[in-house]
Chains A and B, each alone.
Chain A
Amino acid sequence: MRKAGWGLKTMSVAALAYLHLPILFVFLYAFTTEDASFTFPPPGYTTRWFAVAAANSDIRQALSLSLTVAAAATFIALILGTLAAGAVWRTRFFGRETLSLFIVLPIALPGIITGIALRSAISITGMSFSFWTLVIGHATFCVAVAYNNVIARMRRVSPNLIEASADLGATGWQTFRHVLLPQLGSAIVTGGMLAFALSFDEIIVTTFTAGNQQTLPIWIFSSLVRPRNRPVTNVVALLVVVITFIPIVLSQRFAAKAEQV
């Protein structure tokens, strides 16, 4: 393997810095003593904003709503995504391509179109905007993630295994439980973690499917549009980064490990 020239190396390092440095400044500003402007460098450092954020009941409620919505949406998306993957796997049927298209469409189209489409449907049916409309919106775009992970794994499961299990007298449930699930398990977990991360910090579909509920991203967005308690916003931003970062890194490790097997 030849060595890369210094020009290429410099440009690569610059691109990586562009991708990763900005978020580090959010971390830095969570500790600043300055609460009215974004003065750099911060005049001093303090940890008091963490206590202020923890004591804020709006933030606590928004956090618990975001976690609940993400958990419920992930659960639904995993069921729908796994079922859809099971249907598409090794079967050809009328409308198969259409189904695959409709699975990826919610994340392929800009969020605003998915958001406003759901809003228009919900308003036509006369349903009121609630926790459940949020979950419907989030589950819709999370299905793609669950489906992609499960179908990619299914393509590598030998159909002989299923037939062998049936020949040995296993019921459908036993085959699913003891043959298929161990094979798909890590793909389902990976898909679930990605779906959770995707849902947790989603803002656009959330804005269109929420009533007056406030998720954490909606809280952050509203404090950006009408600037108020800036240092607390930084603390909440840091919290969102940490909560989404962990499942993403874990899921990538899982996926990398599954590749090696």
Chain B
Amino acid sequence: MGTTQSSIGRRMATTLYRRPRLRLGLLLALPALWLVGVYGGSLASLLLNSFYAVDPFGGNVVRRLTLETWRRVFTDANLASATRTITMAASVTVASLGVGFPLAYYIARYTRGRIKTTLILATIVPLWSSYLVRVYSWKLLLAAEGVVAWFFDRLGMGALLDTALRLPVIGGPSLSTSSLGQFVVFTYIWLPYMILPIQAAVERVPRSMLEASADLGASPATTFRRVTWPLAIPGVAAGSIFTFSLTLGDYIIPTVIGDSSPFLGYAIYSQQGVAGDLPMAAALAFIPVVVMALYLTGARKLGAFEAL
């Protein structure tokens, strides 16, 4: 019995070894079916859905191809929320760069061994863990009676905070219900995605190049501007892909923090949920995809894909 089994096993092993196509097919069948079939099919069905429309009387999705939904996408309200979302995504990207670059540079250039590992871990953990709880923590911090307001008061800068909150567009009754607060939370959430690629890019700058630059009489500032920064740009571009695209699609942060002015992600979410207009939600979902595709084309020119 044992010998029969093992000889069958051996024959199978031989067959698989001799027929790499068969082996490949067996390995490939399930993942390809799931990802290309189910997931790819889902993306295709999303596109298909955007060419359906909701029956204005019954409220049901009518499965007949039409451009009706796409015609309704380009309304002033949708364009306004697209503009707001893209502005926020761009501001968040710039702020993440400003806050993240020094830390990334410090880790790459001035640490090694255990300290470097620990600092990188400290950047990775927030990236993987508890997205929702991390958003929620700012609800506590930014509340009118919360931690941030308390610190501003203690430092004697309560008036400064109040002035900022009285500003048009970015202000609001409290930080927790203002665009300013929303911006702080977006930056906080996506910051690690900016730090890691920059750190990796700066890490790859050869030390000999910096020494050569110094030997040729460049000041540290010049070396940074002419050597380090140009070589860090692919990392910056890679990081910005994440900070930009993740902000485009997010609807959790605008729901929890901010003045409830509509964002693209939230518009998609509420069209699908509250309004029950899946075709509209599907069409809106293609706005971030198109914006991102344009952005990726630009980022690719800057060498972002080599830095990932």
Contacts and interface: CB of A to CB of B under 8 A. Distances in A.
Contacts of B102: 8, 11-12, 15
Interface of B is mostly: helix
Nearest to A198: B128
B307 interface: no
Contacts of B38: 121, 136, 140
Q: A14, A40, A99, A220 — which one has the most chain B CB atoms within 10 A of its CB? A: A40
Given A99-B31, A143-B35, A224 B256 contact: yes
A117 B45 contact: yes
* Range of interface residues on A (Cβ < 8 Å): 35 or more
Nearest to A19: B126
A9 to B, nearest CB: 7
Contacts, number: 263
A23 B130 CA distance: 10
A27 to B, nearest CB: 9
A229 to B, nearest CB: 14
Interface stretch (A51-59, A163-171, A181-189): A163-171
B6 A112 contact: no
Interface in B121-174: 121-126, 128-134, 136-141, 143, 145-147, 149-150
Interface stretch (B8-16, B75-83, B230-238): B8-16
B74 interface: no
A203 B134 CA distance: 12
B49 A217 contact: no
Contacts of A113: 43, 46, 249, 285, 288-289
B190 to A, nearest CB: 11
Interface string B281-296: 1100100110000000
A83 B27 contact: yes
B91 interface: no
B133 A220 contact: yes
Contacts of B117: 256
B99 A172 contact: no
Interface string A74-100: 000001110110110001010100110
Interface string A213-228: 0000100110011000
A109 B249 contact: yes
Given A201-B133, A244-B130, A248-B128, A171 B10 contact: yes
Contacts of A22: 134, 137-138, 141, 188
18 contacts: A8-B102, A12-B106, A23-B126, A26-B133, A87-B31, A93-B24, A102-B36, A111-B249, A112-B269, A117-B45, A120-B46, A124-B49, A139-B34, A204-B252, A207-B269, A237-B136, A241-B129, A252-B121
Interface of B: 6, 9-10, 12-13, 16-17, 20, 24, 27-28, 30-32, 34-36, 38-43, 45-46, 48-49, 99-100, 102-103, 105-107, 109-110, 112, 117, 119, 121-126, 128-134, 136-141, 143, 145-147, 149-150, 188, 191-192, 195, 245-246, 248-252, 255-256, 265, 268-269, 272, 278, 281-282, 285, 288-289
